[in-house]
Homo-oligomer: A and B are copies of this chain.
Amino acid sequence: MARYKFQGETPPEGQEEVCPVTYTQNLTAGRWKIIILWHLSKQTRRFNELQRLLPGISKGILTRQLRELEEDKMVHREVYKEVPPKVEYSLTPEGKTFIPVLDIMGEWGKKHMQRK
């Protein structure tokens, strides 16, 4: 699961259950994760392509964000045994079910951002 020490991860004493909302929140709680999911929702991408789509990200960080998303079953990593290496990232079926959630969060955000 997510590596953030927010509510969902370590339920405070007295609360046995992990809040599903916070669980969801934590999945996307990474500096680049939402944008990565968004790009992958459009099409499969290679490592280098993603790096170019995310100006400013370093290879180390991109790798970590992708590994975490993979661990969370949101992203699939396909390695082609070629030289030079080729690795393609795509959404898993579960990752795809998350797109509508992203959409709704985006809709709400758009409205809320305007009333500032």
**A interface residues, Cβ below 8 angstroms from B:** 5-7, 12-15, 18-25, 27-32, 34-35, 38, 54-57, 73, 94, 97-98, 100-102, 104-113, 115
The smallest beta-carbon distance between A89 and chain B, in angstroms, is 17
Residues of B with C-beta under 8 A to A38: 19, 21
Query: Given that A55-B14, A101-B105 are known contacts, is A25 also in contact with B21, CB under 8 Å in the complex?
Result: no
The 5 closest A-B CB pairs, nearest first, are A20-B109, A24-B109, A12-B56, A14-B55, A23-B109
> Taking chain A's interface residues, is the majority helix, strand, or loop, or is none over half, making it mixed?
helix
Could you say how many copies of this chain the assembly holds?
2
Residues of B with C-beta under 8 A to A94: 112, 115
Kindly state the separation between the CA atoms of A12 and B52 in the bound complex, as whole angstroms: 12
Query: Given that A12-B55, A104-B101, A112-B94 are known contacts, is A6 also in contact with B30, CB under 8 Å in the complex?
Result: yes
